A and B are shown apart, each in its own frame.
Chain A
Amino acid sequence: MNRRILLQQEPIDISYFTWLLGDESSGAQVWFVGTVRKDADCEDLLYLEYEAYEQMALEILEEIVLEAAGRWQLAGWVVVHRLGRVPVGEASLLLGVSAPHRAEAFEACRYLLERLKAEVPIWKKEVGEGGGRWKANPEAPSGEGTAPSGAEGAGL
């Protein structure tokens, strides 16, 4: 079956999923692999620790994927996000889509990635030699609406 959405603790076996996505009607597959890297903020990074609100994350991923599938006529998709400890250099995310033509596949893959990073309830903690800190994506919004009175002390 060339349609998979998974959250998993195990390392992502990219070649297995590449094989999974193949089908006879698609002329294009586009893949994105997100990997854990050291950056200027955290040069002593050892690993990222991912955590998810799993049921909600899977439901939102499915909604986003089905929307993209309708918009770009996708034949198949693979979305695999790793949870738990992911060491520097290893893959935390694998996204793949197949479509009749490359333009649709590229656009759909980019769309899925941007929506995932902004909306899907998965969090990461950077853990280095000096400890850990939670890090949100720049594109991820915080809560909206009128300022809740109970949050007045939260410096909002």
Chain B
Amino acid sequence: MKVTVRLFAELRERTGRSSVILDVPEGASGTELWRCLSQTCPALTTLGYRPLLAKNGHYVSWGEPFEEGDEAAFLAPVGGG
């Protein structure tokens, strides 16, 4: 299945991409998405912290399963204000 992963801020800059479409097995977890994303974008392996994960605009744990058409986002610790 295909899952779109959106990237912002530091992750966007490191990868040079604001979104990546991953082809992963049905029900893949956030952990599996990250593994696949890190292979596609090796610059993420030296990030130095574990990003937060969002599914369709809501924070979820890395164990969360994803389905076809879901939007994932790996997010750096926030800095608003």
Rounded to whole Å, the gap between the CB of A93 and the closest CB of chain B is 5
Q: Is the CB of B80 within 8 A of A143?
A: no
A154 — which chain B residues lie within 8 A by C-beta? 38, 44-50
Q: How far is the CA of A94 from the CA of B27 in the complex (A)?
A: 41
Q: How far is the CA of A92 from the CA of B76 in the complex (A)?
A: 19
A113 — which chain B residues lie within 8 A by C-beta? 81
Q: Is the CB of A136 within 8 A of B75?
A: no
Closest A residue to B35 by beta carbon equals A150
Q: Is the CB of A153 within 8 A of B46?
A: yes
B48 — which chain A residues lie within 8 A by C-beta? 154-155
Q: How far is the CA of A125 from the CA of B30 in the complex (A)?
A: 26
Q: Is the CB of B8 within 8 A of A51?
A: yes
Contact residues of B between 9 and 41, Cβ < 8 Å to A = 9-10, 12-13, 30-32, 34-39
B53 — which chain A residues lie within 8 A by C-beta? 143
Q: Is A19 on the interface with B (CB-CB < 8 A)?
A: no
Contact residues of A between 90 and 131, Cβ < 8 Å to B = 92-93, 113, 116-125
Q: Is the CB of B73 within 8 A of A56?
A: yes
B77 — which chain A residues lie within 8 A by C-beta? 136-137, 140-142
Interface of A is mostly: mixed
B49 — which chain A residues lie within 8 A by C-beta? 142-143, 154, 156
Q: Is B51 on the interface with A (CB-CB < 8 A)?
A: yes
Find the residue from B37, B58, B75 having the highest chain A CB count within 10 A. Answer: B75
Q: How far is the CA of A8 from the CA of B13 in the complex (A)?
A: 22
B48-81 near A? 1/0 per residue, CB < 8 Å: 1111111001110111000000000101111111
Q: How far is the CA of A131 from the CA of B34 in the complex (A)?
A: 29
Q: Is B6 on the interface with A (CB-CB < 8 A)?
A: yes
Please give the residue numbers on chain B whose beta carbons come within 8 Å of chain A beta carbons, in ascending order: 6, 8-10, 12-13, 30-32, 34-39, 44-54, 57-59, 61-63, 73, 75-81
